[in-house]
A and B are shown apart, each in its own frame.
Chain A
Amino acid sequence: MTKLRVTDAILKQVEKPARYIGNEVNSIIKDKDSIDIRFAFCFPDVYEVGMSHLGMQILYYFLNERKDTYCERVFAPWTDMEEKMRENNINLFALESQDEVKGFDFIGFTLQYEMSYTNVINLIDLAGISPWSKERKEEDPIICAGGPCAYNPEPLADFIDFFYIGEGEASLNKVLDIYKEHKKNGGSKKEFLEKLLDIEGIYVPAFYEVKYKDNGIIESFLPTHKNAKSKIKKQIIKDPNQSFYPSKLILPWVQTVHDRVNLEIFRGCIRGCRFCHAGFVYRPVREKSKEVLIEQAKKLLKNTGYDEISLSSLSTSDYSEFESFSQELLQTCKDAKVNISLPSLRIDKFSIDLMSNIQKVRKSSLTFAPEAGSQRLRNVINKGITEEDILKGSKLAFEGGWDRIKLYFMIGLPTETEEDIIAIKELADKILDTFYSIPKENRARNAKVVVSSSCFVPKPFTPFQWEAQNTYEEFMDKQQFLKKVIKRKGIQYNYHDAILSSLEGMLARGDRRVGKVIYYAWKFGAKFDSWTEKFNMAHWEKAFEKSKIEPAFYANRKREYDEILPWDHIWVGVSKSFLIKEHQKALEEKTTPNCREKCQVCGATIFQGGVCYEGTN
């Protein structure tokens, strides 16, 4: 049995000690002596959150396919454990070997949300390493990062040695091959980073220099090394049928949010909702074939013993063979006594029937995400769902026995007016009216419509990347206004304090200077910012003051099309001219057809695969 890094006495005093012991079913233990590369894969949040993340598990098995590499997992110790670790001088350690990550070759962070940035810094510090790249020593591990937030790497540019842009399976192996060679021959860390400049998809921030104008806007962003590329091209797998997918998943010791098999059915999204970061950076859509999926589902169920499987994608109903695939999966699962859960389904006749079929248990609520209340605003954001779709879907659901509809909206979308907000209330009203228009014997006794609103955060690589975000006060006023107009019994309104969205708005479109804010916020005590009970705005306010950075410059300022944006050197496929066109269409309230209806020549064809080459367009 692996000797634990932390003593029993400490583990007995912390919450959920199983977070720190490793050795779960299906985890991988390797002989350290026959390994060339030690890789600490770090999810900057607590164990249960990280362990329910599919991407991490895929890359974990992918890296461990290599005989020369030992990839281990690291999560953020919860605050009770961190306290004990600091008290007893215990450095951050990896779960599998329980060794300190300080001695590893790589520490790789996956950046899933901006509010985990202070945790990134905290973890590097907890490892006993300086968070600042330039202060780190030769013997310290190389620190890299990837994931959706890495598409704007600048806020963390001073802390991370290199960023990997795109899907790890595509060319992470090249990085490791070069490293192995480099380690064998000996050489400095800088020399290794220089070698990386030859690989596509690798961004080494130290080889670039940013200059600013007096008004704070970027004046130039230029390579300082002759081999540094002016554009870093996203790396993706062309055909997911041919690419690596694990046949196992680690069974977490502690119950996680998604404690089940997660089967990824496609990457990307054909829709092009204009607010959606994932919808642009993951282009083009690449699907797995039905046969491959059924095969993978069977293997994963067998090797995990899970009794539930969930399909994972941005928009499940858009899978091109969805009807026949779901029938086949249903049969497979029935035989094996396995439940299916289907998130992000479009609500129509087919999906209602499907859900009635799989949910023999009590019917819980159904979810729509119209995102905006009025058709006008839905056109602005290119959300291709109409009021008719929603009302029809609700009617079917009510007649099918459901009695709770959840609606998701965003507040603060570009061009939003008071009328658009009132339209949210009106839509909820109409859904409830629909319920009461159904004869009593064909529906439940009462129904509830739950309206939830989140605050819009403009994201890089979307047509709204130039837009000003609403201020905190604007968000709060709008929420209060909506709260006031929603009076009817049977309609419930949920909303959150907007402060986290405001911060996220600053970080998401931040430049290199924002790194200082993150650093100081951490210094002043910020960590686990995405956890409401741990979040404290005072840390951030002090950090703004100390770093002399004005958050409104990043969050609430409208940019011109010709401004150099901090992420302009990252090339995701989708072109700037396409985004400008989409932005203008948004302002004209014009919609854009999806990839399968009519290709918009967005730029993603450079990847030579996926939906762009399906032959339908």
Chain B
Amino acid sequence: MKVRIKFTKEGNLKFIGHLDLLRLFQRSIKKAELPVEYSKGFNPHQLLFIALPLSLGTTSEGEYIDIELKDFPISELEIKDRLNSVFPQGLKVKELKFLKENIKNGMAAVDGAEYDIYISKEKLSDHFYQKTKEFFEQKEIWVEKRGKKESKKINIKDKIFDYSIRENKDSWIINLLLSAGSKDNLKAEIVIKALYEYNLLDFKEYEIDIHRIDIFSRIDNQLIPLSNI
């Protein structure tokens, strides 16, 4: 039986990389004494599928992992409680449910992701709000994509499904809904870098905070959170 888990990765846990997170899940599942299924073959590993790797330094309130468990009598609530009791601070199961057999695993299901990007007002001019609107309203948005050998220019406009901008005392907060998944993945930091360049600002990735809100799948032309499938 397969379970889909929606979890948060917040606070200092943003500094745990993708592979280290996966190891943490492996340990936690064993600690929680959940009978996980293993892959066949030379080097059996637990059948775990993280939907969309999160960049180091990014927090999230909407991460997903699918776990293949052996059939055994247990409730969704019990699995959730067991995992939460072994997780470190910052990692928390929000929702958990059994999946129907025919549902696509992790990555294959992903089409979009939503982010809040916090940019400190400190170094920004008063025109930033206006310029940001202008930037996103352009017909085309070209960015340089660095490949292994040469870099090429690509237009990311179609991959930005939606945007908005709001503020709090210290920061501008840009909300982005971006194309994501194995086919067409657009990272939030690429968009912000282009925005900075448009504003003639020097972009330093470590100066902004990125927070992922949720991950979506496209069903009947609608983006639906993975937890609602």
Residues of A that sit less than 8 Å from B by CB: 1-2, 4, 8-13, 16-18, 20-21, 23-25, 251, 253-255, 259, 301-307, 337, 361-362
Contact = CB atoms under 8 A, between A and B. Distances in A.
Given A305-B27, A305-B28, A362 B42 contact: yes
A1 B89 contact: yes
CB-CB nearest 8 A-B residue pairs: A305-B27, A305-B30, A305-B31, A12-B206, A17-B15, A1-B11, A21-B12, A12-B57
Given A1-B12, A8-B209, A17-B56, A307 B24 contact: no
A47 to B, nearest CB: 12
A21 B23 contact: no
B205 interface: yes
Interface centre among B31, B90, B205 (most CB of A within 10 A): B31
Nearest to B42: A361
Given A305-B26, A306-B27, A18 B88 contact: no
B43 interface: yes
Given A23-B89, A25-B24, A255-B20, A9 B206 contact: yes
A259 B23 CA distance: 10
B56 A253 contact: no
B32 to A, nearest CB: 8
A13 B89 contact: no
Given A253-B16, A361-B42, A307 B30 contact: yes
Interface in B46-69: 56-57
Nearest to B57: A12
Interface of B: 11-12, 15-17, 19-20, 23-24, 26-32, 38, 42-43, 56-57, 86, 88-90, 205-207, 209
Nearest to B30: A305
Contacts of A11: 15, 57
7 contacts: A12-B205, A23-B12, A24-B88, A251-B24, A305-B31, A305-B86, A337-B38
Given A20-B15, A251-B27, 19 more contacts: A1-B89, A8-B57, A10-B206, A11-B15, A12-B57, A12-B206, A17-B15, A17-B56, A18-B15, A18-B17, A23-B88, A23-B89, A25-B27, A25-B86, A304-B27, A305-B27, A305-B86, A307-B26, A361-B42
A11 B17 CA distance: 13
A255 B19 contact: yes
Nearest to B27: A305
Contacts of B24: 25, 251, 253
Chain B at the A interface: SS class:
helix
A255 B21 CA distance: 10
Contacts of A13: 206
A25 B90 CA distance: 11
Given A12-B57, A12-B205, A23-B89, A4 B12 contact: yes
B87 to A, nearest CB: 8
A524 B27 CA distance: 44
Contacts of A253: 15-16, 20, 24
Contacts of A1: 11-12, 89-90
B65 to A, nearest CB: 16
A253 B27 CA distance: 11
Nearest to A307: B30
Contacts of B23: 255, 259
B83 to A, nearest CB: 11
A305 B88 CA distance: 13
A176 B18 CA distance: 41
A23 B91 CA distance: 12
A4 B90 CA distance: 14
Contacts of A361: 42-43
A18 B20 contact: yes
A309 to B, nearest CB: 12
Contacts of B19: 255
A127 B20 CA distance: 29
B45 to A, nearest CB: 9
A432 to B, nearest CB: 27
A307 B17 CA distance: 20
Nearest to B205: A12
Nearest to A360: B42
Nearest to B32: A305
A122 to B, nearest CB: 24
A21 B15 contact: yes
Contacts of A17: 15, 56-57
B20 A302 contact: no
B190 to A, nearest CB: 16
A302 to B, nearest CB: 7
A302 B31 contact: yes
A210 to B, nearest CB: 47
Contacts of B12: 1-2, 4, 21, 23
A10 B204 CA distance: 12
Contacts of B206: 8-10, 12-13
A253 B90 CA distance: 13
Contacts of B86: 25, 305
Contacts of A2: 12
Contacts of A10: 206
Contacts of B28: 25, 305
Of listed A251, A302, A305, residue having the most chain B CB within 10 A: A305
A9 B88 CA distance: 23
A18 B23 CA distance: 14
B61 to A, nearest CB: 15
Chain A CB count within 10 A is highest, among B89, B205, B206, for: B206
B27 A18 contact: no
A254 B56 CA distance: 13
Nearest to A16: B17
B112 to A, nearest CB: 25
A306 B207 contact: no
A26 B23 CA distance: 15
Given A1-B11, A17-B56, A25 B205 contact: no
Nearest to B29: A305
B29 A18 contact: no
Contacts of A20: 15
A16 B38 CA distance: 29
Contacts of B29: 305
